A = this chain, B = another copy of it.
Amino acid sequence: KVSPCTDFDMAYFHSYAHVGIHEEMIKDRVRTETYRTAIMQLQSHIEGKVVVDVGCGTGILSIFCAQAGAKRVYAVDASDIAVQANEVVKANNLSEKIIVLHGRVEDVEIDEEVDVIISEWMGYMLLYESMLGSVITARDRWLKRGGIILPSNATLYMAPVTHPDRYSESIEFWRNVYGIDMSAMMPLAKQCAFEEPSVETISGENVLTWPHVVKHVDCYTIQVHELESVTTRYKFKSMMRAPLHGFAFWFDVEFSGPTTSPINTLANNLALDGGQNKKRTNPNDALVLSTAPEDPPTHWQQTVIYFYDPVEVEQDQLIEGSVTLSQSKENRRFMNIHLEYTSGGRSFVKESVMR
């Protein structure tokens, strides 16, 4: 039942042993401060409670939880960065409260139920890296009925985008290189620039219309098999006339208290900390960490899947098709993206892999 730890997993864990990646994540103030704010807003659910931090990294979220009054925090990470997390915990005299466990959530032992799962598991395009599976494992192994998961839900969006600057910098550029026509380079340039998904920051102005929800994840109910392959059909109506260069993907996550899901609501009716339903009646009340193009940039940026050639679309023209995101068979931390799109009577298919 427990998935074996592959060479690919080892390489993945190893990549997180480098300090630079943690420095980058911690310096992402939108990310780190939203987590801290969420912990402070939900302090009443953390104070005196048992928390597990899935993929704790340097341990910063565990320390925030300890500062919020958690009784005990299990900080779990399979990467060697756990050794550092333990040093940080000791140096802050928090060894009594924070127990660093160096191993996979599948393998480590926690001898009690937990009230709170906190995790910063989101990858590019939300699902890249597949760390959500570890949150599910932690939930199914240790979460108390009525316990909370932070973030509690996540949504992956997509929208058609125009990005003439990017296209001209990398492709049109070859038409005139110091006066030389090097357009013979263009087919290979397109392949090199646009074969793989591109993680980059775009702006709201690049987006042609309202986004489509590719996948909504309720962290209380999501099952691992649902993540193996996600398919959605979309239909966009472009709000303007523009060359369509591809689709951008981004996500947001919400930090809600109890009663996020029906199962949980039921549990809460029995639990001591029930009666928080009010929180959910106003959906704007939940704290949101957004990586949308119109919001302040984060280290996740946006992920853009470019076409090899732009498609001219008119205002109000329909762009429709489907997208399938699936775990690579070769390495489950890679993601295959199968994109079909039809616009103005022409149909296209684009296959790409996020490695």
**CB within 8 Å of B: which residues of A?**
18-20, 22-23, 26-27, 32-33, 36, 58, 60, 63-64, 84, 87-88, 90-92, 170, 173, 177-178, 180-185, 188-189, 191-193
Q: Smallest distance from the beta carbon of A65 to chain B beta carbons, Å?
A: 12
- Which residue from B26, B33, B178, B180 sits with its C-beta under 8 Å from A92? B180
Say yes or no: A20 contacts B90, CB within 8 Å: no
Q: Smallest distance from the beta carbon of A117 to chain B beta carbons, Å?
A: 21
Whole-angstrom CA separation of A180 from B32 in the bound complex? 13
Nearest-CB residue, chain B, relative to A83: B188
Q: List 12 A-B contacts (CB under 8 A).
A: A19-B188, A19-B189, A19-B191, A19-B193, A20-B192, A27-B173, A60-B178, A64-B178, A84-B184, A87-B185, A88-B182, A88-B185
Say yes or no: A192 contacts B90, CB within 8 Å: no
Say yes or no: B188 contacts A84, CB within 8 Å: yes
Q: Smallest distance from the beta carbon of A73 to chain B beta carbons, Å?
A: 14
Say yes or no: A23 contacts B189, CB within 8 Å: yes
Report whether over half of chain A's contact residues are helix, strand or loop; otherwise say mixed: helix
* CB-defined contacts of A36 to chain B, threshold 8 Å: 178
Whole-angstrom CA separation of A22 from B186 in the bound complex? 12
Q: Smallest distance from the beta carbon of A336 to chain B beta carbons, Å?
A: 21
Whole-angstrom CA separation of A170 from B88 in the bound complex? 17
Nearest-CB residue, chain B, relative to A185: B84
* CB-defined contacts of A20 to chain B, threshold 8 Å: 192-193
Say yes or no: A180 contacts B60, CB within 8 Å: yes
Nearest-CB residue, chain B, relative to A91: B184
* CB-defined contacts of A181 to chain B, threshold 8 Å: 91-92
* CB-defined contacts of A91 to chain B, threshold 8 Å: 181-184
Q: Smallest distance from the beta carbon of A119 to chain B beta carbons, Å?
A: 18
Nearest-CB residue, chain B, relative to A180: B63
Say yes or no: B177 contacts A26, CB within 8 Å: yes
Whole-angstrom CA separation of A225 from B18 in the bound complex? 36
Please list the 4 inter-chain residue pairs (A to B) with the smallest Cβ-Cβ separation, ordered nearest first: A87-B184, A19-B192, A91-B184, A88-B184
Say yes or no: A178 contacts B32, CB within 8 Å: yes
- Which residue from B23, B60, B64, B192 sits with its C-beta under 8 Å from A173? B23
Interface centre among A90, A91, A177, A191 (most CB of B within 10 A): A177
Whole-angstrom CA separation of A292 from B167 in the bound complex? 33
Q: Smallest distance from the beta carbon of A192 to chain B beta carbons, Å?
A: 4
Q: Smallest distance from the beta carbon of A341 to chain B beta carbons, Å?
A: 25
* CB-defined contacts of A189 to chain B, threshold 8 Å: 19, 23
Whole-angstrom CA separation of A26 from B169 in the bound complex? 12
Say yes or no: A192 contacts B18, CB within 8 Å: yes
Whole-angstrom CA separation of A112 from B237 in the bound complex? 64
Q: Smallest distance from the beta carbon of A351 to chain B beta carbons, Å?
A: 19
Q: Smallest distance from the beta carbon of A29 to chain B beta carbons, Å?
A: 9
